[in-house]
Amino acid sequence: MDQIIRIGMDTSKHVFQLHGVNAAEEPVLRKKLRRQDLMTFFTKLPPTVIGIEACGGLTTGRACCSHWGTR
């Protein structure tokens, strides 16, 4: 996997949507994690920038967090 430089995370009560990009701003990570799996996942990654967004309404985590892939 390309090195992830930034991760956008849409939070909810039980499931978190992650969207990560590499230095070329290409998507290299799309993942759905349960709350209890977050720490295990992030401890395996090198340090990176994480943007957290709580979305409401009809949008999905993927749609909400996709803007983290662009500057």
The answer to the question of residue 63 being in a domain is: yes
Tell me the pLDDT of the chain averaged across its residues.
80
DSSP 3-state of 1: coil
The answer to the question of residue 1 being in a domain is: no
User: Hey, CA dihedral for 67, 10, 36, 49, is it positive or negative?
Assistant: positive
The answer to the question of residue 24 being in a domain is: yes
pTM: 0.69
The answer to the question of residue 29 being in a domain is: yes
DSSP 3-state of 20: strand
Q: Which domain holds residue 32?
A: 6-69
The percent of residues above 90 in pLDDT, for the chain, comes to 54
The answer to the question of residue 20 being in a domain is: yes
Secondary structure percentages of the chain, helix, strand, coil, to 5: 25, 40, 35
Give per-residue pLDDT as tens, 33-66: 998 999 999 999 999 999 988 655 544 445 544 4
Report the domain count for the chain. Answer: 1
> What is the C-alpha separation between 29 and 15, in angstroms, rounded?
16
DSSP state of 47: P
